[in-house]
Amino acid sequence: MTFFVVLFFSCSKKKSESDHNEIHKVYKDTEENKETEKAKEDAIQQPPFSEGIFPCTACHADLLPNPVRRELTEMHDDISAIFDHDSENRWCLDCHDLKNRDSLKLASGKLLDFKESYKLCGQCHGEKLRDWKVGVHGKRTGEWNGKKEYSLCANCHNPHTPKFKELSPEPPPIRQEDIK
Amino acid sequence: MKKENSRRSFLKNISLATFSALALSGCDMKAIDEFLQQNFRTLSKKEIDEIIKNLEAKYKRKYGKEFHVSAKPAIEGTLFGYALDLSRCIGCRRCVYACVKENNQSREPQIHWIQVLQMEKEKGIDFAHSNVQYNPEKVPEKGHFYLPVQCQQCRNPQCVTVCPVKATWQEPDGIVVVDYNWCIGCRYCMAACPYGARHFNWGEPNVPVEEINTEMHYLGNRPRMKGVVEKCTFCIQRTREGKYPSCVEICPVGARKFGNLLDPDSEVRYILENKRVIVLKQELNTQPKFYYFFGI
């Protein structure tokens, strides 16, 4: 008799475990679907072009490409003036493509849309890219449990002079002795 | 033999007499209802709806705007947590004023739920030598770092323990809230809080009509009265609707992170698992859900 009871219990236990696994699997599937849906909903801010600068081909289409490293004096001299991004070793064509002016370029030579510029930044700043992807570096707005908006690296850091600029602080709180 | 004029019957009679005198003197019945209102946690759904309807009408009369007061309960399966990147904060105080605006803090007399402390890098976290009044042309200043302090939303909140009337409590999603109607203004909670996160309305709070935020929560940013204590609620009116708190959204350096501690994929959980985090005054065993970390 005892034997049967034990058998019965062990069977029912096994069954419930397999049920549980099944449920877990289904649950996980829907979670994954949700995950992809969520990713689709998330939006990335537009690249911060100066007004009237894009598409670059508007001017560059008629210009002869010159791959020689030089200080720009006529056009884009404003960028030359502020350029401070490993300026000793790098210049325009390390990130911008010589032939496809409306594209960026990875070190591998692969062309890249401006909307994916974070991949370009991530070539050197891999640790930052990793943190950015999980939402720890940089800013996320929107919903903590749903649709979010991300900023591109360039939305906060000017890629030509990436150090975050100082800000004027808002006024300090009123001192206790100044309360009337 | 039973005494006819016992103390109990005297008190009963005098309270009845006062009540009828008040009613007869043409005093607004709604004001009496409000005065006799019970602790928020003991109210039924129907009573809450009624109170909220009256509040919305009252605010409309006072400010001439349409208000929406929510009493939305905690979302099941959430425990809110916050993380602040000390290596990024530049002390610009944008969060302080975004908070004031979102949560209808009094402008005059001034109440700020967030204090940004400037500290010397050499000394590390040292409250005694911190400065809240810094006001240079530009921030960050050399050799300094900034540590914003607001309610730490403790798991073991001493402010709640000391409240003699149970006007403040921890909600199921971890937010410590105040029932402003039930608060008696004894300020025990302010004495008990080791973070200076609770603020008292010494005067009649004053919010400009054009700046008032009409999206409100009963336990959050609805206008407070003189003589009650208020505090950060993780923007309960926003976060229970799925939005980020307004200090998170304003931060220009993205130093502020917010999310659900029970969700393993949330940003705060990633930070807890992968970064070095600290809590303030750990030795007091308040167990904050507000973490500071070094992102670099």
The 10s digit of each residue's pLDDT in B62-86 is 999 999 999 999 999 999 999 999 9
**pLDDT tens-place string over residues B231-248:** 999 999 999 999 999 999
Contacts of B250 in chain A (CB under 8 A): none
Report yes or no on whether pTM surpasses 0.90. Answer: no
Task: Determine the pLDDT at residue A11.
Answer: 43
B286 and B168 in a common domain: yes
Q: What is the pLDDT at residue A6?
A: 45
Cα(B108)–Cα(B208) distance, rounded to whole angstroms?
10
Asked, for residue B193, whether it belongs to a domain, the answer is: yes
| β-pair type (A140-142, A111-112) | unpaired
Compute the average pLDDT of residues A123-129: 95
What value of ipTM does the predicted structure carry?
Answer: 0.85
CB contact under 8 A, B257 and A135: yes
Q: How much of chain B, in percent, has pLDDT values that exceed 70?
A: 96
pLDDT score of A2 more than 50: no
* Greater model confidence, B32 or B287: B287
Answer yes or no: do B268 and B195 share one domain.
yes
Instruction: Give how many domains chain B has, as a whole number.
Output: 2
B3 and B97 both lie in a single domain: no
Quote the pLDDT of residue B290: 98
Cα→Cα distances B178→B11, B42, B68, B198, B230, Å: 30, 14, 19, 10, 7
Query: Does any domain span residue B48?
Result: no
How large a percentage of chain B has pLDDT more than 90? Answer: 86
Choose the weakest-confidence range: A49-58, A78-87, B43-52. A49-58
- B257 contacts in chain A (CB < 8 Å): 135-136
B interface toward A at CB cutoff 8 Å? 75, 85, 90-94, 96-97, 109-110, 112, 115, 132-140, 239, 242-244, 248-249, 251-254, 257-260, 263, 266-267, 270-271, 274-275, 295
- pLDDT-derived band at B7, boundaries 50, 70, 90: confident
CA pseudo-torsion sign A128, A148, B78, B47: positive
Tell me, yes or no, whether B124 lies in a domain: yes
Is residue B26 pLDDT above 60, yes or no? no
State residue B193's pLDDT score: 97
Tokens representing B168 are 């403040």
Q: Do B15 and B109 sit in the same domain of this protein?
A: no
Closest residue in A to B91 (Cα) is A169
Q: Could you tell me if B146 and B235 lie in one domain?
A: yes
Asked if B257's CB is within 8 angstroms of A173's CB, the reply is: no
For chain A, the structural domain boundaries read: 70-164
CA-based nearest residue in chain B for residue A131: B295
- The fraction of chain A above a pLDDT of 70, given in percent, is 76
Q: Output the DSSP codes for chain B.
A: ---SS-HHHHHHHHHHHHHHHHHHTT--HHHHHHHTPPPGGG--HHHHHHHHHHHHHHHHHHHSS--EEE-PPPPTT--EEEEEETTT-----HHHHHHHHHTT--TTTT--S-EEEEEETTT-S-GGG-BS----SSBSPTTEEEEEE-----SS-HHHHH-TT--EEE-TTS-EEE-TTT-----HHHHH-TT---EE--S-----GGG---EEETTTTSPP-TT-EE---S-HHHHTTTBPPHHHHH-TT--EEEEETT-TTSHHHHHHHHS-EE-TTGGG----SEEEE---
pLDDT digits (tens, 9 = 90+) for A9-66: 444 444 444 444 444 444 444 444 444 444 445 678 888 888 888 898 888 888 888 8
Instruction: Provide, as residue numbers in chain A, all residues whose Cβ is less than 8 Å from the Cβ of B133.
Output: 172-173, 175
DSSP A44: E
Contact: B138, A167; criterion CB under 8 Å: yes
Average pLDDT over residues B2-10: 74
Do B119 and B173 sit in the same domain of this protein?
yes
Instruction: Check residue B4 and give its pLDDT.
Output: 66
Mean pLDDT of B122-145: 96
Return mean pLDDT, chain B.
93
| Residue in A167, A171, A175 closest to B139 by CB | A167
- B192 and B262 housed in the same domain: yes
Q: Give the pLDDT confidence of B149-196 residue by residue, as tens digits.
A: 999 999 999 999 999 999 999 999 999 999 999 999 999 999 999 999
Bridge partners of B276? none
A167 CB within 8 Å of a chain B CB:
yes
Give the CATH number for residue B122: 3.30.70.20
State which amino acid sits at residue A152.
Answer: L
Q: Where are the beta strands (DSSP E) in chain A?
A: 43-44, 104-105, 111-112, 140-142, 148-150
**Mean pLDDT lowest for which of A170-179, B26-35, B212-221, B273-282?**
B26-35
Q: Which domain holds residue B161?
A: 68-296
- DSSP alpha helix (H) spans, A61-164: 77-82, 117-122, 126-133, 153-156
- Same domain as B6, residue B81: no
Compute, in degrees rounded to 10, the torsion defined by CA atoms B160, A174, B103, B173. Answer: -30
The answer on B155 and B27 residing in a single domain is: no
Look at residue A4 and tell me whether its pLDDT is greater than 80.
Answer: no
Is B37 contained in some domain?
no
Tell me whether residue B254 is in a domain: yes
Regarding whether B198 and B139 lie in a shared domain, the answer is yes
What order of strands is seen across the sheet that includes strand B80-85? Answer: B256-260, B80-85, B290-293, B277-278
What rounded mean pLDDT belongs to chain A? Answer: 80
pLDDT at A114 over 70: yes
Q: Do A145 and B260 touch (CB under 8 A)?
A: yes
d(CA A168, CA B222): 31
pLDDT at B34 exceeding the cut of 90: no
- Inform me whether the C-beta atom of residue A144 falls under 8 Å from chain B C-beta atoms: yes
Within-domain flag for B36: no
| CB contact burial B226-247 (16+ within 10 A = b; e otherwise) | ebbbbbbbbbbbbbbeebbbbb
Percent of chain A predicted with pLDDT > 90: 48
Smallest Cβ–Cβ distance between A144 and the set B112, B251, B258 belongs to B258
